[in-house]
Amino acid sequence: MENNSSYWQANLRIIATCLVIWFVVSYGFGLLLVEPLNTIRLGGYKLGFWFAQQGSIVTFVALVFWYSYKMNKLDKEHGIEE
């Protein structure tokens, strides 16, 4: 029972981290901080525009792979790997 509790706490911590990062990138960088970021250029495009159009998608895909990596590691630590 204690093992299950620590597993789910670690799982929820990973999920919360992913959601916070995704929120900051999509909402923070794409909407709230767009004007300051637009002073920086990335490949000819304003950085705020890039985050609003592509940055949140790229971040989401990277988070999917990071989440998979972390969950595989967590599963091995708790002996429930597939």
pLDDT tens for residues 11-44? 999 999 999 999 998 888 888 888 998 899 978 8
Counting the structural domains of the chain, the total is: 1
* Residue 82 within any structural domain of the chain: no
Show the tokens assigned to 78: 């708790």
CB 4 within 8 A of CB 13: no
Closest listed residue to residue 47, CA positions, set 61, 30, 63, 22: 30
H helix runs in the chain, sequence order: 2-23, 34-37, 47-50, 56-77
Rounded mean pLDDT, 42-50: 85
Give me the chain's average pLDDT, please: 89
Domain boundaries, position 40 = 2-77
